[in-house]
Structure 1
Amino acid sequence: MKAILKHGVIATAVSTILLGGCMNTTKVENKVDVITNSQYIVSMPESQFMPTPAELTGEQKSVVVLPVKIDSNATFETGAVRQVSSELENGLITAGVEIVDRSLATKLGDEILAYEATGQFSGAGIDVADVAILPAIHNVGIAKSFTPASNYTDDDGKRHYTPAKCDYEATVTGNVKLFELPDLKETEAINMKGTASTSLSISNSSCPVSQDIAYSLASQASGNSVYNILSEIQKNFSQSGYVMQYRKRGDLHLVNITLGASQKLKEGQKIIFATKLSQPDYTTGKNTVSTVYYDFKGVVSDMIDANNAWVIVDEEAEGQLKKGDIAQTDFEKSFWDDITKGGNLADNIKNSFQ
């Protein structure tokens, strides 16, 4: 059974979320004081597995986004193609990925399509990036429905008139494939689906679809389809740094990590933490190294340098984090992300309660 939400409830929900969001901040007061004052230093034991100099340096992954593959039954694809490529590239840049020159993408795209068809490839230009991403649009459809004009008289004798309207909804389906280069090994295939809708006051019951409406809705639905799976794609490019320092001033807990502006780290980026442990494998009699994630998370503050940044962490981090523990960018979508992106705000709020 679906819950029925009135506009007032939706407005209250939005207000609550907005006000709640204002309570959190990434701004650090008296920055010099918190870094240089020795009384704020929190001593940390070293991790069981400290990072090597090479690991501390780290490397930025490079990606080539290939031209969008269009199935023959996809219509209104012009705006859709442009939006898919744009959303993908923007999302990858946010994840700190280096986007390879577009001029190399077409040739490599042809190579991958040939490889998918024949299982063979020439190898030409395959080493241009670490990963190739091939987006595909399988179908772009526009559904429409007509609602005739209506009128009624309320209890006070006042007449109300609702004009006729046409509702349009575009649905885009497709997938995104990731290939490891230079081996052209497919590592992941993620299905995508997005919708976009609009209503127009039209008395024509056939609800004609103009080219402008079709292209606009197809473009919006395509962008939403990519947004809906963007966090899954970004997870493949999560960057790892390491915890180096800890500071505590009052309720403020900060840790310094080896990721910064050079790795495209930005204020507000979510960070998850993990430690490496050597544990016995009783089936083999040997020790194995496993990565165990902590329950707490962090968010990048406004203190970001070229190759390091200060991250605001939950108070539970104190006594658990170790020097050399892993700090990793996190792209899980929040509740607020889900209801404000990928479609209509009010519809998304209602859907979240269904």
Structure 2
Amino acid sequence: MIKKSLWLGVVASLSLGGCATVEVNPRDLDNRVQLPLSVTNPSPGGAVTSKVVIFEVDTSNAKVAKESEAGSSIQFALDGYINEAGAELVDRNLAAKLKDEVIRAEMGGAGAYQGAPVADYAVRTTVTGASFGAEFKEASRWTDDDGKTHVTPASCNYASRVGLSVDVYTVPELKRVKSLRGTGSTSASEDARNSNCSKGGPSLVRRAAEDAVYEIQEELKAFLAPTGYVLHGFETAEGKYILKTTLTKAIGAKEGKGVRIINVTEEGDRYPIGEGKIATPLVQSGAFVVVDEETISRVRIGDEVRVDHSCSIMGCKLDQTLGMK
């Protein structure tokens, strides 16, 4: 009981901490901190978003997934997560030739796309394996120490498992720059009148496929997250440090969300210099980000700012349930 109470306390404190935001009144930000200029981006503006095309999911090597039409569920889930990341989705019908070139490059052929510049990245997804099983369990009865008889009805137990690979290629170079592997599983049980357990196979396989996508979504969103920039720095009367950035709601910014701040050197190397949290309100011109004194001492105007899509120690699913994602 103590362990359960402790765990519930941790969940409550983390969920409150994850949702808490600092409120900023833009009209009170009149004490500007003099920040040095970035060597590579001294006059920042706007944000950089990626155009992404997602090819139709390949289920040809997984009969169970193909028969269950799991490809559509995977496609829908990928679309949603990439959209959440703030990337721009491109109509895959505009990139039929691009898909052929990606396949050629993967097979060791010449690798460069010569067609129209429809996207920055291409995502190819393959279901590497899928299974579904059903088991009938007969009814049973047992008697407790008080002599009371308990009956467990007959049941059908179902389970499905799906594995997939998600590969991201640059366009037009067709260089694979990200390779993710996910495995999803799900199970279900129902009372049975007879031993013919044959219900729900396709829906369970689709749920397992969605679970496999969920397993890789955190890393995929982090890779495709748009890049905003630091415009100004301020110190409030209460001693808080605020950065004005070009991150907006349209590209994934959300009140209370964490961000990572990155300095880019003249040689193109990237170094994380600190973290912050998006303040309330999230204004149309760009998010205000709360940072500590140590972080602002390292920040330069023009430094990159990216939304942090990583999950807490509780995991992505519980974060989403608690409204932290």
TM bracket, shorter-chain basis: 0.7 to 0.9
CA distance, structure 2, for counterparts of residue 202 and residue 252 of structure 1: 62
Which residue does 1:3 correspond to in 2?
Answer: none
Identity value in percent = 24
- Residue 72 of structure 2: which of 82, 101, 106 is its match? 82
Which residue does 2:135 correspond to in 1?
Answer: 145
Counterpart amino acid of residue 302 in structure 1: T
Which residue does 1:352 correspond to in 2?
Answer: none
Which residue does 1:209 correspond to in 2?
Answer: 198
Which residue does 1:223 correspond to in 2?
Answer: 210
**Conservation of the 8 A alpha-carbon contact between 1:177 and 1:190:** yes
CA distance, structure 2, for counterparts of residue 110 and residue 290 of structure 1: 33
Worse-matched range after superposition: 228-237 or 301-310: 301-310
RMSD across aligned C-alpha pairs, in angstroms? 3.2
Distance 1:217 1:293, change over 3 A: same
Deviation at 1:256, TM superposition (A): 1.6
- Residue 164 of structure 2: which of 174, 182, 204 is its match? 174
CA distance, structure 1, for counterparts of residue 179 and residue 265 of structure 2: 31
Query: Is residue 62 from structure 1 mapped to residue 51 from structure 2 by the alignment?
Result: yes
Q: SS of the counterpart of 2:279?
A: strand
Deviation at 1:17, TM superposition (A): 0.7
| Gap runs ≥5 in structure 2 | none
Deviation at 1:238, TM superposition (A): 2.8
- Residue 36 of structure 1: which of 20, 28, 36 is its match? 28
**Conservation of the 8 A alpha-carbon contact between 2:62 and 2:127:** no
CA distance, structure 2, for counterparts of residue 323 and residue 122 of structure 1: 36
CA distance, structure 1, for counterparts of residue 39 and residue 169 of structure 2: 31
Distance 1:58 1:37, change over 3 A: closer
Deviation at 1:291, TM superposition (A): 3.0
**Conservation of the 8 A alpha-carbon contact between 2:65 and 2:205:** yes
CA distance, structure 1, for counterparts of residue 81 and residue 260 of structure 2: 19
Counterpart amino acid of residue 10 in structure 2: T
- TM-score of the superposition, structure 2-length normalised? 0.83
**Conservation of the 8 A alpha-carbon contact between 1:138 and 1:174:** yes
Which residue does 1:242 correspond to in 2?
Answer: 229
- TM-score of the superposition, structure 1-length normalised? 0.77
**Conservation of the 8 A alpha-carbon contact between 1:166 and 1:202:** yes
CA distance, structure 1, for counterparts of residue 52 and residue 234 of structure 2: 34
CA distance, structure 1, for counterparts of residue 198 and residue 240 of structure 2: 56
Which residue does 2:7 correspond to in 1?
Answer: 13
Which residue does 2:155 correspond to in 1?
Answer: 165
- Residue 197 of structure 1: which of 169, 180, 187 is its match? 187
Q: SS of the counterpart of 1:239?
A: coil
CA distance, structure 2, for counterparts of residue 319 and residue 115 of structure 1: 45
CA distance, structure 2, for counterparts of residue 259 and residue 237 of structure 1: 14
- CA deviation vs aligned residue, 1:281-337 (integer Å, no higher than 9, x gap): xxxxxxx6643323x422223322334111233565354444443322222222233
**Conservation of the 8 A alpha-carbon contact between 1:74 and 1:137:** no
Q: SS of the counterpart of 1:92?
A: helix
**Conservation of the 8 A alpha-carbon contact between 2:21 and 2:277:** no
Which residue does 1:71 correspond to in 2?
Answer: 60
- CA deviation vs aligned residue, 1:211-232 (integer Å, no higher than 9, x gap): xx11111111111111111122
Counterpart amino acid of residue 218 in structure 2: S
| Gap runs ≥5 in structure 1 | 1-5, 279-287, 346-354
- Residue 265 of structure 1: which of 253, 270, 281 is its match? 253
- Residue 335 of structure 1: which of 309, 313, 320 is its match? 313
CA distance, structure 1, for counterparts of residue 4 and residue 95 of structure 2: 44
CA distance, structure 2, for counterparts of residue 12 and residue 83 of structure 1: 37
CA distance, structure 2, for counterparts of residue 292 and residue 113 of structure 1: 34
Distance 1:112 1:124, change over 3 A: same
**Conservation of the 8 A alpha-carbon contact between 1:79 and 1:216:** no
CA distance, structure 2, for counterparts of residue 292 and residue 60 of structure 1: 20
Worse-matched range after superposition: 152-161 or 41-50: 41-50
- CA deviation vs aligned residue, 1:191-221 (integer Å, no higher than 9, x gap): 221111111122544x6223xx111111111
**Relative contact order, higher structure (CA 8 A, sep 6+):** 2
Worse-matched range after superposition: 59-68 or 257-266: 257-266
- Residue 293 of structure 1: which of 241, 262, 272 is its match? 272
Which residue does 1:349 correspond to in 2?
Answer: none
1:104-119 residue pairs with structure 2 within 5 A?
Answer: 104-117=94-107, 119=109
**Conservation of the 8 A alpha-carbon contact between 1:140 and 1:173:** yes
**Conservation of the 8 A alpha-carbon contact between 1:240 and 1:326:** yes
Deviation at 1:25, TM superposition (A): 4.2
Distance 1:209 1:256, change over 3 A: same
Query: Is residue 183 from structure 1 mapped to residue 173 from structure 2 by the alignment?
Result: yes
Q: SS of the counterpart of 2:208?
A: helix
